Amino acid sequence: MAKGTNDAQLLIQSLRKAYASTPTSLKIIDLYVVYAVATALIQVAYMAMVGSFPFNSFLSGVLSCVGTAVLAVCLRIQVNKDNKEFKDLPPERAFADFVLCNLVLHLVIMNFLG
Amino acid sequence: MATSKVEGSSSLRHAFGGVLSVFILLLIGVVAFSIRLFSVIKYESVIHEFDPYFNYRVTQFLSKNGIYDFWNWFDDRTWYPLGRVIGGTVYPGLTLTAGTMWKLANSLNIPLSVETVCVFTAPIFSAFAAWATYLLTKEVKGPGAGITAAAILAMVPSYISRSVAGSYDNEAVAIFALIFTFYLYIKTLNTGSLFYATLNSLAYFYMVCSWGGYTFIINLIPMHVLLCIVTGRYSSRLYIAYAPLVVLGTLLAALVPVVGFNAVMTSEHFGSFLVFIIIHVVALVYYIKGILTPRLFKVATTLVLTVGIAVCAVVVAILVALVASSPTKGWSGRSLSLLDPTYASKYIPIIASVSEHQPPTWPSYFMDINVLAFLVPAGIVACFLPLSDASSFAVLYLVTSVYFSGVMVRLMLVLAPAACIMSGIALSEAFGVLTRSMKFHITKYFECSHTEAPAKLGESTSTESSAPLENMTKSDTTEKPEVARKEKVARRKQKKEKELTENAHVKPVSAKKEKRPLVLPLEASIVSVFLLIVLGGLYVLHCVWAAAEAYSAPSIVLTSHSHDGLHVFDDFREAYAWLRHNTEVDDKVASWWDYGYQTTAMANRTVIVDNNTWNNTHIATVGTAMSSPEKAAWEIFNSLDVKYVLVVFGGLVGYPSDDINKFLWMVRIGGGVFPHIKEADYLKDGQYRVDAQATHTMLNCLMYKLSYYRFVETDGKGFDRVRRYEIGKKHFKLTHFEEVFTTHHWMVRIYKLKPQKNRIRGKSRKSKLGSKSTSSKSGGMTHKNPWN
């Protein structure tokens, strides 16, 4: 047991150390992802309390949070300099794609929100 | 100098190849369009079959009233007295596409009528589908395979059968949307660009709008993602290709009214959500693996596993409880009948009765995809050498569509693009190997007569020898060229031959994967190329024959050739025109559900049931009425305000799809809801017959009487040309119905319900005083007075 908790602590410490070395821009994106997922969870908790009518509003709210989180992760993948596959993709292009996809997503959300 | 000249000539060749490709693709589009015009040439520009008439009517409404009325349209001229919410139950893609094209053409002052646009929508979109196949196969294998696949798809009979000019049905645009969505998915997978992921979601939206078969896409793509993960081909491009599609795609699918909340609540979509969660878990695992040392990673995995398995078990238990609580496990009836082919025949006879939903026979494979049936396995082998994400997708698509086409003959249509892609790849690879052999031998000839130049220039500029078709010939071919060369070059310089054989020996040893001079002997190559071209010619011949003879019949107009020329049977339109001109606008017409769409579209009268078959009880009511004796049938029809009854009868001319042949389905469906109708009552010794040995119930039911009333007057004996015997009951009178119209060849017969008598003689007078006569005096709806 002691070894288990020791291992867990060691694990968390090494994770923290490894994560601290990521560049700030990626950390901002990660923060945004965490914020989006947290918003989604809050919405689900609210729906559990209040009921799911109207369902389309709930669905569009949760899916918009999940959608922006997913798109932010895609942006992070494309902008990350450690990623060899996207070496020759300029980050401006990645960001432009991100904006376009978000635009389409939010257009659909606004339509579905009711 | 030499290199730049080579570059210059190769870039010129590329440019020339590009222009030639564009020209070829244009020609392919023209072929795809023209091969579907046989029905217009042989018959006329008319809408075919049954379902297209509904789509045509909806398009007419859209073009006349605009899109807002279309979304909110409640149709009261069908499924009387229930009506149908058209806006919420129709897949709008086809009608919106045709409506847009019509509006565009008219705004440019090209005066096309709605019918013309509807008739020619399918050929235009088949040309687009051929181009989409080119793009998809180019992503999988290369431009050569792309052009071959496009050429094959333009002509494949299975696709022609559902997209001739006049077949204005959902599949006409849905197949194009399917191929285009797959192309964008593969493009996103190959490039990892979020832009293409967005386009992929929008193409998927178009597919959801067009066809109920979109569930195939939303289950195939997750299957492929799972396959990639399991075979160790996970990459961040896979995440970018899949995750935005799920979120955006589900939202867009929920936007379409006919899908609505089914996009998140039915089992057809759960697969995509499950794989969505799985891919996130896998992505996280890869990320953590990247930033931790291996030892710590092991510790992390043990920790996560213990916690994760507990959580998973709870979640799975909840999900299973939820899903198992619904009787169909959350799947819709049609999807369940695909997974369990016996489901429909046990529980939903309507789905089982549609002839398109039956399993196909073996000959139909050769009829519908012909030569492709044995090019496909070669294509599968070619896809594995080398295996990439895109080619694994193509193989998965083919395997699943082969399974589904074996369940339902209608889904051969989904198999067609997969078979074309595979065959395109196979043919292209075969041509590649053969022409490479020919080039090798021919350049060798020229070299032997010139100075010694490295003969392998021929191979190095050819396409990467990534896919030798037959692996087993590899060992042979290294010997064969030697043998052949020895024979041919024996007269030439010995030194040259030795050098070449040495090179040939060295090459396979040195070059591991590329630049293997896999060549076949020259004669074999030439003969093979010639035979492949002959094969292609035979395929084209078959496709043109199938398009002209088998799939161009509009089925609303029939023709037959006899010794005195061509007979045209235009009875259906004759009957609908009679209805249109000789009945009141609000009269209700009852017939079997096959003819509902045509009646509302062409005769413009209210019908009781139509091809949408959404209400089984209503159809069972009509079926019961057709199976009951005259009086009971009259009561049922009267309660539905029916004025006219329409039956289709083929006994005089030998038209086999008439109502008497469909009658057993009416009995089965009616008996499924009303237990007093038993199928055994209509069968004599288990056999269905209408001659003198038929049962009493059969000879007295409404369908028999309405079909064979006065039939004996035609030839004196009542010989039914479809059933091929004389009918049982020949001379009878109708008591509750009167015949108002029979078409020229007796194919459609229309009867009117006789109004109830005002005065009834005899003892039943007192009991009849309660009911009033329901004859309509001045048109419009008449109601039974509830106070009498």
Spatial distance between the Cα atoms of B180 and B132, rounded to a whole number of angstroms: 5
Rounded to 5°, the CA angle B419-B420-B426 comes to 90
Q: Is the pLDDT of residue B756 over 90?
A: no
Report pLDDT for B498: 45
Nearest to A85 among B192, B264, B288 (CB): B192
Q: Which residues in chain A touch residue B252, judged by CB atoms under 8 angstroms apart?
A: 108
The Cβ of residue B192 has, within 10 Å, a number of other Cβ atoms equal to 24
Residues from chain B contacting residue A82 (CB–CB below 8 Å): 290
Mean pLDDT within B573-580: 93
For residue B89, CA distances in Å to B57, B172, B280, B588 come to 15, 19, 35, 23
Dihedral angle of Cα B15, B21, B24, B25, to the nearest 10 degrees: -130
| B781 DSSP 8-state letter | -
From the CA of B244, how many Å to the nearest CA of chain A?
6
Closest CB from A82, A83, A101 relative to B244: A101
Q: Which residues of B570-586 are buried (b: 16+ CB within 10 A; e: fewer)?
A: bbbbbbbebbeeebeee
Q: What is the mean pLDDT of residues B423-428?
A: 94
Average pLDDT over residues B112-140: 94
Q: Tell me which of B132 and B407 has the higher pLDDT.
A: B132
Report helix, strand or coil for B587. coil
B-chain residues within 8 Å CB-CB of A59?
251, 254, 261, 264
- Residues B699/B728, Cβ–Cβ less than 8 Å: yes
Give pLDDT, residue B444.
83
| Smallest CA–CA distance from A56 into chain B, residue | B261
Q: How far is A38 from chain B (nearest CA, A)?
A: 16
β-pairing, B687-688 vs B683-684, is antiparallel
CA–CA min distance A24, chain B (Å): 16
Interface contact B239-A105, CB threshold 8 A = no
Q: Which residues of A touch B291 (CB under 8 A)?
A: 15, 18-19
pLDDT at B777: 42
Name the residue facing B193 among A19, A97, A108 (closest C-beta): A97
Q: CA nearest B155: which of B446, B548, B470?
A: B548
Q: Tell if the CB–CB gap between A101 and B194 is shorter than 8 Å.
A: yes
The pLDDT value recorded for residue B480 is: 40
Contact A73 B243 (CB under 8 A): yes
A94 touches chain B (CB under 8 A): yes
> How far apart are the C-alpha atoms of B705 and B726, rounded to whole Å?
15
CA distance B628 to B625: 5
Which candidate, B194, B170, B174, B172, places its Cα nearest to that of B184?
A: B194
Predicted local confidence at residue B121, as pLDDT: 93
pLDDT tier at B224 (50, 70, 90 boundaries)?
Answer: very high
B303 three-state secondary structure: helix
Shortest CA gap B59–chain A (Å): 24
Kindly determine whether residue B192 and residue A78, on different chains, have CB atoms separated by under 8 Å: yes
pLDDT 10s digits, B700-712: 889 999 999 888 8
Q: Which residue of A has its CA nearest to B238?
A: A74
Band (pLDDT 50/70/90 cuts) for residue B2 is low
pLDDT class of B220 with cuts at 50, 70, 90: very high
Measured in residues, chain A has a length of 114
* Mutation target among A9, A37, A98, A101 for the B interface, most CBs of B within 10 A: A101
Q: What is the per-residue pLDDT across A29-82, written as a single tens digit (0 to 9) for each? A: 999 999 999 999 999 999 999 988 888 899 999 999 999 999 999 999 888 888
Q: Which residue has the tokens 């989409």?
A: B132
Query: What distance in Å separates the CA atoms of residue B387 and residue B224, rounded to the nearest whole number?
Result: 14
Residue type, B636: I
The pLDDT tens digits for B259-270 are: 888 888 888 888
Query: Residue B195: its pLDDT value, please?
Result: 93
pLDDT at B495 over 60: no
Range with the poorest average pLDDT among B146-160, B534-548, B727-741: B727-741
Do residues B601 and B653 touch, judged by C-beta distance below 8 A? no
Contact flag B197-A14 (C-beta cutoff 8 Å): no
Average pLDDT over residues B717-740: 87
What confidence score (pLDDT) does residue B492 get?
44
Predicted confidence (pLDDT) at residue B218 exceeds the cutoff of 70: yes
Q: How confident is the model at residue B341 (pLDDT cuts 50, 70, 90)?
A: low
Give how far B266 is from chain A: nearest CA, Å. 15
In this prediction, residue B126 carries a pLDDT of: 94
pLDDT at B345 over 70: no
Average pLDDT value for residue range B89-112: 93
Q: Considering chain A, what is the average pLDDT of its residues?
A: 87
Contact indicator for B465, B459 with CB cutoff of 8 Å: yes
> CB neighbours of B684 closer than 8 A, spacing ≥ 6?
B693, B694, B695, B698
| Rounded alpha-carbon distances, angstroms, from residue B143 to B94, B459, B463, B471 | 30, 19, 11, 23
**β-pair type (B588-590, B642-648):** parallel
Residue B751's pLDDT is what?
Answer: 93
Is A75 an interface residue toward B (CB < 8 Å)? Answer: yes
- The beta-carbon neighbor of B292 closest among A18, A70, A78 is A18
CB contact under 8 A, A108 and B251: yes
Distance CA B219, CA B196 (A): 20
How far does A17 lie from chain B, in Å, by closest CA? 9
pLDDT band at B499 (very low <50, low <70, confident <90, very high): very low
DSSP letters spanning B452-481:
---TTHHHHHSPP----S-TTHHHHHHHHH
Q: Quick: pLDDT tens for B580-607.
A: 999 999 999 999 998 999 999 999 999 9
Compare CB distances from A19 to B194, B243, B291 and report the shortest one's residue: B291
Tokens 């056999």 sit on residue: B687
Highest averaged pLDDT of the listed ranges B142-151, B554-563, B666-675: B142-151
B701: helix, strand or coil: strand
Please check the confidence at residue B418 and state whether its pLDDT lies above 50: yes
Average pLDDT of chain B to the nearest whole number = 82
With an 8 Å Cβ cutoff, is A60 touching chain B?
yes
**Could you tell me which chain B residue has the CA closest to the CA of A60?**
B251
CB-CB neighbors (< 8 A) of B243 in chain A: 70, 73-74
Tens of pLDDT, residues B438-489: 888 888 888 877 654 444 444 433 333 333 333 333 333 333 444 434 444 3
